[in-house]
Copies of this chain bind each other. A is one copy, B any other.
Amino acid sequence: MASDVQEPTTTYDEEASPYGELRLDLPALTALLDGDYAEIRAKVREGLVEYASVLEDAETMTRDEFRERVKDVVLELAATGQTGMGFPEEYGGGGDIGASIAAFETLGFGDLSVLVKVGVQFGLFGGAILQLGTKRHHDAYLAGLVKGEILGCFAMTETGHGSNVQALGTTATYDPETQEFVIQTGSPAATKDYIGNAAKHAQLAAVFAQLVVGGERHGVHALVVPIREGDTVLPGITITDDGPKMGLNGVDNGRIRFDGVRVPRDALLDQFAQVTEDGQYVSEIDNANRRFFTMLGTLVQGRVCVGAAGISAAKVALTIAVEYGLRRRQFEATQDDREEILLDYGMHQRRLFPLLARTYALHFGQQVLTTQLHDIFSGVNTDELARRQLESRAAGTKALATWHATRTIQECREACGGAGYLSENRFTALKADTDVFTTFEGDNHVLLQLVAKGLLTDYASDFEDLDQFGMVRFVAGLAVETVLERSRAHKLLEGLRDAFGSDKWDQDTGLLDPNYHRAMLEFREEHMIGGVARRLKRGIDAGMNPGEVFSRVQDHVVAAARAHVERLVLDAFLDAVAEQPDGDLKTVLNLVCDLHALSSIEADRAWFMEHGRLTSQRSKAISREVNELCRRMRPVAGDLVRAFGVPREMLRSEALLSWGEE
């Protein structure tokens, strides 16, 4: 595909460049991006090519046919072992959590119904059995579900409660007489809803319900409930179809209602709490709130996976748009007799390259996250604080990565014009299928508030009232504790002064100095978190209703969390670049990292000016530099997307990508 790509017609003043002439070793870059799991990624890529026809099936088949097709592909993939990498080897899994994330991430280049069905079966359902269940559940289900012989669903969300899952309405009441739990859907709002695999294929459901023992409520717990035998829905259970969705129509989402459904006592996934034969509730974790968040915390892998999938989808979109931009010509611009290559237009570079740079940044941010997940869930790292940080980071990265996917896919579609609107060119599926990524596995705004809660824990003693009334419920969904040390504020600013020898680091440092980029993002993060804490305290002190105080400060809360995650992502990218040996590859990565950092600062330059960290002159200089970096990137843009290693078959776009071959 590289052969017909056009050299840029614009020329540069090479002497003014800190990068010199760019040379890129494509296989080396691909190897760097693939990281430790190149082998499993290669295997998944092969599978993607083998089942490439599923991309077209999504358009041509009826919904019913496509659901069956997707199920079949998932089962065939399961047979190869690539979907079970995260399960223990004794149950037929691969015993490698990092590999399972890498496999899932790579699967995100292909049809996303397949991806989500894999996520539901192995990540959500399988994850619930593995993490919340104990040996008897593992023995009963894991081998079968890894092979795809047992299909299950994850029945948490209800029509009335998606974000506030602590308030679920379904109940599981223990009947000591029969030693059974009775599952009951209460009001219509307590109907399990949007449940993947429920409408057609699942035999079992991991049902989250308020556990009631001896008349006492103990909060939300999960139980394994058979819902179907063959195609027959079991008595007491009503399943309806969620109907056509914007995308992911190969996944059979449905609604489940339970009316007095009885399951044996050992259906309770009892890793964190047990009910004895005679109806005693027992848990090592006394605090109900803490117990709930501990349970949820073990399911963090789902969020890690959704973020990874968002980044992969953005890579596919960028690959198509950049390759097209390298071929397609429009308007005679620099020459009289030949139209100009789209990607030689400054505006076209501006539209695509900062998104490309950010995709690289998120890739490295995601890699750090995956490593942390692997280390903690493999027992390499047993530190409790590290676990809390992982949960926070997973939530924040998921939010940033999925919003990035939505935005990038949209911009890439527009950059491909009317051709981008034809389904054969993949944007149709990418847009429709990824749209819900910003919502499922946690609404992005709720997730960022969760991140903020962790950051604010330092300040918690300043406003206990708020914690009591507001924060806990606002940011429910997962426990995130101290992420920043109490003393972090001072350390940070001291670090900045040390690094630059004065407090004027924001003016003295060169625009391309990575220390400048890091310092800017750290300053913003710290200042925003402190600002939110002060605003909350002020409102509480003034006697306002804590809920209303929170509501008024909510945009600052979300902004602070975002600033935190942005800093984590930049750190990951800077660290990855720093680890590279000097050479061509490092030079190119430096350029991409500079563009990401500066375009990030540019995007929020108003804030930096408002807070005295950016003069208007320097702000304008940053915008000029971003344009310059885009021009610098132009000669390597093609290889930068090729390094993602999206198989050609996943791009489709025959007509789009045959420009220049005439």
Contact = CB atoms under 8 A, between A and B. Distances in A.
Nearest to A432: B432
A646 B445 CA distance: 29
A244 B423 contact: yes
A440 B655 CA distance: 19
A627 B332 CA distance: 47
Contacts of A159: 655
A105 interface: no
| This chain: copies in complex | 2
Given A163-B331, A417-B439, A605-B606, A242 B422 contact: yes
A189 B419 CA distance: 13
A473 B610 contact: no
A558 interface: yes
Nearest to A603: B606
A357 B615 CA distance: 32
B422 A439 contact: no
A417 B350 CA distance: 31
Contacts of A245: 421-423, 428
A473 B431 contact: no
Contacts of A606: 605-606, 609, 619
A619 B616 CA distance: 13
A397 interface: no
Interface string A135-173: 000000000000000000000010101111001000000
A57 interface: no
Contact of A555 (B167, B188, B344, B346): B346
Contact of A347 (B59, B244, B414, B558): B558
A406 B417 contact: no
Contacts of A90: none
A407 to B, nearest CB: 9
Contacts of A333: 469-470, 473-474, 547-548, 550-551
A331 B476 contact: yes
Interface string A631-653: 10000000000000000000000
A242 to B, nearest CB: 6
A563 to B, nearest CB: 15
A583 interface: no
A344 B552 CA distance: 10
B334 A548 contact: yes
Contacts of A432: 246, 428, 431-432
Contacts of A417: 162-163, 439, 443
A6 to B, nearest CB: 15
A619 B244 CA distance: 45
25 contacts: A59-B243, A157-B418, A159-B655, A163-B417, A167-B339, A242-B422, A244-B422, A245-B421, A245-B428, A246-B431, A331-B476, A333-B474, A334-B545, A335-B547, A336-B469, A345-B554, A347-B445, A347-B555, A347-B558, A413-B435, A417-B439, A421-B436, A428-B432, A606-B609, A610-B619
Given A334-B548, A609-B609, A609-B619, 8 more contacts: A164-B339, A246-B427, A333-B550, A346-B554, A347-B558, A414-B439, A609-B616, A611-B616
